[in-house]
Structure 1
Amino acid sequence: MERLQKVIAHSGVASRRKAEQLIIEGKVKVNGKVVKELGTKVAASDRVDVSGVQIERENKVYYMLYKPRSVISAVTDDKNRQVVTDFFQEIDERIYPIGRLDYETSGLLLLTNDGEFANLLMHPSNEIEKTYVARVKGIPSKFKLKELEKGVKLEDGRTAPAKVKMLSMDKKQGKSIIEITIHEGRNRQVRRMFEHIGYPVQKLKRERYGSLTLQGLTAGEGRELTPHEVKQLRTLAESAANK
């Protein structure tokens, strides 16, 4: 069951606010009956008419993308730069990214037209783990990595504990490869965490989101999630929220 104004908005007939206005004005019918109450919930099988015309309701879809670098995590861009939805032009549904990866970060990004699902995954209390691999300038000591594990104080507050693992180091070139797993979703968080301890990120990729990995995909490729994968993500988020 979904709120009536949300169903109308998702159909593309009107914005959420305009949909609410249409409901109040008595221009919306559910199964032939005028509905004027905001917050009325309708099922997928219910017929909804707006100003005498039946709306077309989108199926819920769920995709993952291996986002390349230099791509915007948005539906449109006012500077005409490439956006993540450009990689899904063959699908009819109007999808949007769940959260974001910054312009120069590559890796696993989810997209959907299911607002409830997106909000569930993005809610801070739901603690879905996201694993990144960072190439950083310099070679942090175990003490510095321990700082990241315990949490560091950024301008928007202290970060939650993280899992950190040194994968490799190159003393000759003065760089290292580090894996870090967090469950928060602050803007440029991983980059800011490494900057805080004095080892700026040169390259960053998200390799895992919950139970999902990039296995089988190359940069710019995407695929639809299986029903089992969608259910796994829901379960992860809901179980974390109920702790």
Structure 2
Amino acid sequence: MERLQKILANAGVASRRKCEELIAAGKVTVNDKVVSELGAKADPASDVIAVNGKPIKQEKKLYILFNKPKGVITSATDPKGRTVVTDFMREVKERVYPVGRLDYDTEGLLLLTNDGDLAHILTHPKHHVPKTYLATVERVPHGSKLEKLQKGVKLDDGMTAPAEAEYHDIDPEGKYATISITIREGRNRQVRRMFEAIGHPVTRLKRVSFGGIALGSLQRGKHRSLTAEEIQKLRDAADGASREETNISE
């Protein structure tokens, strides 16, 4: 027996949070009976589970790495008709959903999957999965400012956790610098706000790694399936981060 929202998410119905909303709204039935309690459990192998009267089916698990272009919304749909990441997945038969999000103005590595369990692990606040970005900023921040990022900077929603930050490229004329920065949090527009806090606004932001999975040479707007080794690496990254947090708190 498994929790109903987990079964729905694993079947690719929606993210786990959205599935909880569907259950609470009374849109899910188990063996023709409406179930609206979030703690309810069912057996996907023997129970008939339906959403809005349509039985769900267990879909093949897909794990996709996508190089998101700037100006694309990290969502499966958009009420305003703007371009979303799933517009680039037309040939993918199963429904997939973004793991976390990249801002409209941010480009680079985005994972999509219909594996609700893995998506939940990778995005849950307690699993500090590392994410690496290349941030091109105005002017060249001195080493002391990078040290501030490494120790944590104060934002309007509190101090950030320590980040890894180092120079990636420096303009000889000092007009800009590209900094490689790795964070283990997922606050709204966090990297941009961190650089604003040290006085160097971001002009371009690209995510190049997530949980040890690198974007590599994948072209902008293209996607590929993750290998079995990469999927395991993501699971290991989440498990490792969880163990590290436990050790720190003890």
TM bracket (short chain): 0.7 to 0.9
Identity %: 46
* Larger Rg over CA atoms: 1
Tell me the residue number matched to 1:202: 203
Counterpart mapping for 1:127-138 below 5 A: 127-138=128-139
Tell me the residue number matched to 2:23: 16
- What are the superposed Cα offsets for residues 188-219 of structure 1, whole Å, 9 maximum, x if unpaired? 11000000100000001001111211123100
- What are the superposed Cα offsets for residues 77-130 of structure 1, whole Å, 9 maximum, x if unpaired? 122211011111111212111111101111000111122211100112212111
Q: 1:27 corresponds to which letter in structure 2?
A: D
State how far apart, in whole Å, the 1-side matches of 2:143 and 2:40 are.
Answer: 53
Tell me the residue number matched to 1:72: 73
- What are the superposed Cα offsets for residues 36-62 of structure 1, whole Å, 9 maximum, x if unpaired? 99532425x445365998642222211
Query: Could you say what the CA RMSD is over the residues aligned between the two structures, in angstroms?
Result: 2.8
Tell me the residue number matched to 2:16: none
Gaps of 5+ in 1: 29-35
Cα distance, 1:202–1:54 mapped onto 2, change above 3 Å: closer
Moved more, 55-64 or 181-190: 55-64
Tell me the residue number matched to 1:214: 215
Where 1:220 maps in the other structure, the secondary structure is coil
Is the 1:5–1:20 Cα contact (8 Å) retained in structure 2? no
State how far apart, in whole Å, the 2-side matches of 1:167 and 1:52 are.
Answer: 53
- Number of residue equivalences: 234
State how far apart, in whole Å, the 2-side matches of 1:89 and 1:110 are.
Answer: 16
TM-score norm. by structure 1 comes to 0.85
Counterpart mapping for 1:182-201 below 5 A: 182-201=183-202
TM-score norm. by structure 2 comes to 0.83
Tell me the residue number matched to 1:33: none
State how far apart, in whole Å, the 1-side matches of 2:149 and 2:208 are.
Answer: 19
Is the 1:71–1:84 Cα contact (8 Å) retained in structure 2? yes
Is the 1:134–1:204 Cα contact (8 Å) retained in structure 2? yes
Counterpart mapping for 1:76-115 below 5 A: 76-115=77-116
State how far apart, in whole Å, the 1-side matches of 2:38 and 2:71 are.
Answer: 45
State how far apart, in whole Å, the 2-side matches of 1:88 and 1:228 are.
Answer: 23
Where 1:101 maps in the other structure, the secondary structure is coil
Where 2:70 maps in the other structure, the secondary structure is coil
State how far apart, in whole Å, the 1-side matches of 2:133 and 2:66 are.
Answer: 15
Q: 2:71 corresponds to which letter in structure 1?
A: S
Displacement of 1:136 in angstroms is 0.5
Is the 1:6–1:16 Cα contact (8 Å) retained in structure 2? no
Q: 1:128 corresponds to which letter in structure 2?
A: V
Cα distance, 1:200–1:16 mapped onto 2, change above 3 Å: same
